Structure 1
Amino acid sequence: MNAQTLDWSDIPYVLAVCEAGSLSGAARQLGVNHSTVFRRIEGVETRLGVTLFERLSHGYIMTAAGEHFFRNALQLRDGMNIIQRELGGQDLRLAGALTVTTTDSLLHCLAPVFSAFQNEYPDIELRLLSGTRLLDLMQRDADIALRPTNKPPEHWIGRNLSPLAYAVYAQKAYLEALQDQPVTEQRWIRLNDNLNQSPMSQITLEHKPDGAGVTLCDSLMGVFDLVRFGLGFGALPCYLGETCHDLVRVHDPDERFNSDLWMLAHPDIRRSARVHAFFEFATKNIRSAGFRLH
């Protein structure tokens, strides 16, 4: 037989006999009976095809093969202790880096969730990345993605946290100034996205009157800021529009343009304690009544 057939669970029995010098001493150390240690030692020697111990009247003495086994088994035990101490301790403390990618607007809205999570798990180094580019979870640019989408990638694991609705908003003072004015006096702030595929662009194209002025902006938060400071009308996610008391919802949401808020992760890291902790924490808090997403 070769060494590949050695059972890892046999190693502590051999080590105990090496250290105690007897079957009875090893049995006490391991908390098992004498016969169990005897069978394990006999089985290891049979599988390896060597004699690890000389059986003397006063105990078990290591042979040269036994000493070789002892030295290498000690290294294995030390290595396992290091893994348990360093990695096991981190899991208990939920420590280490956790990178979450999301959009600027969701970061603005969900800042209380991120803040509460960081306070709950201070040993986790939370790294928040925002922007319009969907970072690649397959390439490990991020551990978790929080994104609006109707078609999450099939190869990722995830949860649909909430529908996201969109509506047209305008500043109260801006609306009052436009009373009795022709529609050509209106100005609309439109998101400058590729092929007008975003819900915001589609809603703007549907509701903007012919002849009304247009201002283009290449970021959602930019549209939000221009609308709330009174430049004109703008289609916004309700999770942004409803947070600003100076804004009035001009048109109700149209379900045709809804999307969903998905939390996604790579399948290989779904058993990560940090990822699991964030999934559970974010799901509970984002779905709570405190966040009006639609």
Structure 2
Amino acid sequence: MQIDDWNQVHCALAVARAGTLSGAAQELGVSHSTVLRRVDSLEKTLNARLFYRHPRGYVPTEAGRLLMRAAQSMQEQLNLLVGRVCSGRQPLSGALTVCVGEELVAPMLPLLQRFQRRHQGLSLRLAGSVGECRGVAVGLCAGARPSAAGLAVQSLPRLPYSLYGARSYLRKYGALRGLDQFGGHRFISCADCAAHPALEWMEQSVPKRQLALRCGSAGQMLEAVRAGIGIAPLSVWRARAEEGLCRLLPPPAEWQRDLWLYSPRDACGNSAVRVFSAFVIDCIARLQRVHSIDEARAVAAVAGEEK
């Protein structure tokens, strides 16, 4: 048995990402019926159900999840290949707008610098929101999937989070032994808790008397942690660059946030967008591997201490 039509797999992958046929149709720029027909055809080819159909949308079955992971990996490898082929063919020129949320600016800056060293003829512009994406543009954001009309969206490895505190804070309040033993600690929250499992946990579990400060943005929350006002959830990727901060516990699996790469659909054929997208995918995959190695070393060290 073999799959001869990649469009069927591409449609199924879009359904898995969007959760609905209409969302997948909008992402791919095809009709609702086309998506349904291709998914049905793929299920018949494989003789397996790939999705549970619910009134609110489509949820992948175990077979669906296995296929989606394989398809996502194939898509990422294809993007990398296209980026390398395009980058070796001719120098990039012109301008590229990179949209990055506030939380991701600091960890993205070294990557932007590295990319521009490789492509010195390309001018980069940094913007902060999906609404600022115009023309030749690509963006990266955490949390909810970008839903603006006309965007092509791709999922990336999820961002792990943990609680961090400044050394000055830890000298005064001590370490944190676990999420169920946070008595005596002071927490910093953020007004926008949408699609942020760590902040949602804080709002539901931490007594109000222990919330030392509620900030209006992720940037303010980071500055408050640096100042030693309390502890707060930060992405491992973001906190890695902060020498004065200490991680207080291993990143809980349930605190991971979705990470998305997106661009206007009419810009997807641009060589700068393809090359930059492939570059970002490769860099994030490397960062995730480094994080996994660091976690394995930390677990091994703890196991050694317990012996």
Do these two structures clear the TM 0.5 threshold for a shared fold by scoring above it? yes
Indicate the residue corresponding to 1:129 in structure 2.
127
Partners of 2:165 and 2:225 within 8 A in 1: yes
Shift in CA distance, 234/207, structure 1 to aligned 2, threshold 3 Å = farther
Instruction: Write out per-residue CA displacement over residues 80-118 of structure 1, whole angstroms, 9 at most, x where no aligned residue.
Output: xxxxxxxxxxx9432111111011221201211100111
Contact 1:183–1:212 (Cα < 8 Å) also in 2: no
2:154 to 156, 159, 175: 159
1:30-45, aligned counterparts within 5 Å? none
RMSD over aligned Cα atoms: 3.0
Q: Do the aligned partners of 2:159 and 2:258 also contact (CA within 8 Å) in 1?
A: yes
Q: Which has the higher contact order (CA 8 A, sep 6+)?
A: 2
User: After superposition, what is the alpha-carbon deviation per residue over 1:198-256, rounded to whole angstroms, capped at 9, x for unaligned?
Assistant: 33421322453452142121121221121122111111122122332332222433333
Contact 2:212/2:229 (8 A) holds in 1:
no
CA contact (8 A) 1:136 1:142 kept: no
Q: Would you say how many aligned residue pairs link Structure 1 and Structure 2? A: 198
Higher Rg:
1
Counterpart of 2:272 in 1: which secondary structure?
helix
Q: Which of 141, 144, 149 does residue 147 from structure 1 map onto? A: 141
Question: Is contact 2:143–2:195 with CA below 8 Å preserved after alignment?
Answer: no
Pick one of 227, 230, 234 that aligns with 2:228.
Answer: 230
* 1:101–1:135 Cα contact (<8 Å) kept: no
Deviation at 1:185, TM superposition (A): 5.5
CA contact (8 A) 1:187 1:233 kept: yes
User: How far does the alpha carbon of each residue in 1:147-182 deviate from its partner, in whole angstroms, 9 at most, with x for none?
Assistant: 1135344953343332111221112331221249x9
- Which runs of 5 or more residues in structure 2 are unaligned? 1-88, 176-180, 293-307
| Residue number among 156, 164, 189 corresponding to 1:169 in the alignment | 164
Is the 1:184–1:213 Cα contact (8 Å) retained in structure 2? no
CA distance in 2, matches of 1:124, 1:252: 39
Matches within 5 A, 1:78-157: 92-130=90-128, 133-135=129-131, 137=133, 140=134, 143-153=137-147, 156-157=151-152
What runs of 5+ residues in structure 1 fail to find an aligned partner?
Answer: 1-90
Identity %: 23
1:1-294 matches, within 5 Å, as 92-130=90-128, 133-135=129-131, 137=133, 140=134, 143-153=137-147, 156-179=151-174, 186-193=185-192, 197-209=195-207, 211-289=209-287
- In structure 2, what is the Cα distance between the partners aligned to 1:292 and 1:103? 23
TM-score by length of 1: 0.58
For 2:288 and 2:174, the matched residues in 1 are separated by 34
